Amino acid sequence: MHLTQLRLHNFRSYGQLALMPPPGLTVFVGENGAGKTNLLEAIHLCCLGRSHRTTNDQDMIRTGSDTCAVHATVQRQGRMDEVGVRLYQQQRQRKLIYVGGKVVHRVGELMGHMTCVMFSPEDVEILKGGPQLRRRFLDMLLSQCLPAYFYSLQKYNAVLKQRNALLRAIARESASADQLPVWEEQLSVAAQPLVRARKQAVERLGELSKKHYAFISGRNQEELALSYVSQLSQHEDIKGSMMDRLRQSRQDDIRRQATSTGPHRDDIQCTLSGQEIRSYGSQGQIRTAVLSMRLSEIDILSQAQGEPPLLLLDDVMSELDPGRRLRLIAGLHHVQTLLTCADVQEVKNLNPSCILKVQDGQITQWGP
């Protein structure tokens, strides 16, 4: 997949900007706060309909503007595809999504047109932080691979919300527990495709990440392993076992006013040479492990779509030793990569196709 054009209008620090990145590696150099991450965020928005760093869409509208827009053109398997997102500060409908120049009504319709894998410094939280970050990692990957997964997830979350609302109503004695079985059956049906897809994805992710880790670290004696932790994945009959568990935990759930069983409680366990990486791994080992997971995402998306996604590397080189930097980039010659850094020295051995300077909302060719 090749991003041939990116256009921004009143997006964060940018007024108007048009960019035509070449294939291969494009480097954006600039001081802190210059607007480098903003560019990668705009690309992420076109791929997934949301930012990678804020849940509030309106943050991305340039201060003082009512609206912002990002449009991207990608070339994939010989044909052009166009996607875009427009956000409004005030309007009732605050987000419009465009595919092929036409407004589409569901975010799910955007997924898969333009795909990306983003790696940023905060990503170490995927391994160090709470399980919801690991679930989000899996959900983003699977939504880009299989649009049907995204719809299944939306459906599951909607039913979960209904059951939780009912639990609260029962706890206040304004509803009867007789209504629970209906929602439990629906929730169990909705859980099935999620558990199956996640289990398969973590198995594949584990095999690939182990390989990438060994390559980037240059050390064979450290073995990275991932496993899917779910109350349901061991069972053939996911729906049946989830219904049983929900029935058993009804009283507890009413007391806590929350649902204690289901894929919204899943996790990924990550170990290095048999030890939990979160408590055992060094900063650099954790970073290399997450990077290996991101590289595995590229493999999985490439396989699902017949060509590699875009790779967005935000400020990650400074954290890797020079050997790791070179081995990382050497494996990526077939992937269009957009990389940001504050110091051009970090990339001078990496043979970029293009180096651009980011300053005051403008992008210019890097010159000494």
Interatomic CA distance for residues 168 and 319, integer angstroms: 47
Rounded to whole angstroms, how far apart are CA atoms 178 and 176?
A: 5
Q: Does 36 bind ligand ATP (CB under 6 A)?
A: yes
C-beta of 61 vs 114, nearer to ligand ATP: 61
- Report, in Å, the least distance between residue 103 CB and ligand ATP: 24
Pattern 31-70, Mg ion, x by CB under 5 A = ------x---------------------------------
The binder of 220, among ligand ATP, Mg ion, none, by C-beta within 5 to 8 A per type, is none
Bridge partners of residue 83, in order along the sequence: 72, 99
Measured distance between the N- and C-terminal CA atoms of the chain, rounded to whole angstroms: 31
Q: Which residues of 43-54 are buried (b: 16+ CB within 10 A; e: fewer)?
A: bbbbbbbbbbbe
Rule CB under 5 A: say whether 13 interacts with Mg ion.
Answer: no
Instruction: Map residues 220-259 to x or -, x wherever contact with ligand ATP holds by CB under 6 A.
Output: ----------------------------------------
Q: Which of 9, 21, 26, 37 binds ligand ATP (CB under 6 A)?
A: 37
Q: Pattern 55-74, binding to ligand ATP, x per CB under 6 A?
A: ----x-xxx-----------
* Biggest CA pair distance of the chain: 73
Q: Which does 325 bind (CB under 5 to 8 A by kind): Mg ion, ligand ATP, none?
A: none
CB of 308 to ligand ATP, least distance (A): 24
The item of ligand ATP, Mg ion, none sharing an interface with residue 35, based on CB under 5 to 8 Å by kind, is ligand ATP
Alpha-carbon dihedral angle through residues 171, 172, 176, 177, given to the nearest 10 degrees: 0
CA 306 to chain centre: 19
Q: Calculate ∠ Cα 67-73-76, nearest 5°.
A: 145
34 binds ligand ATP (CB under 6 A): yes
Helix (H, G, I), strand (E, B) or coil at 52: coil
Residue number, 63 or 77, with CB nearest to ligand ATP: 63
Give every CB contact of residue 317 below 8 A, 6+ residues apart in sequence: 325, 339, 341, 346, 347
Provide, rounded to whole angstroms, the least separation between the CB of residue 317 and ligand ATP.
Answer: 12
Binding status of residue 12 toward ligand ATP by CB under 6 A = yes
DSSP for 117-174 reads EEE-GGGHHHHHS-HHHHHHHHHHHHHHH-HHHHHHHHHHHHHHHHHHHHHHHHHTTS
CB 94 to ligand ATP: min, Å = 15
Q: Which is nearer to Mg ion, 37 or 288 (CB)?
A: 37
Alpha carbons 2 and 308: distance in angstroms, whole number:
9
* 288, 216 contact by CB (below 8 A): yes
The answer to whether residue 9 forms part of the interface with ligand ATP (CB under 6 A) is no
Site string for ligand ATP, 79-108 (x = CB under 6 A): ------------------------------
Q: Give the residues lining the site for Mg ion (CB under 5 A).
A: 37
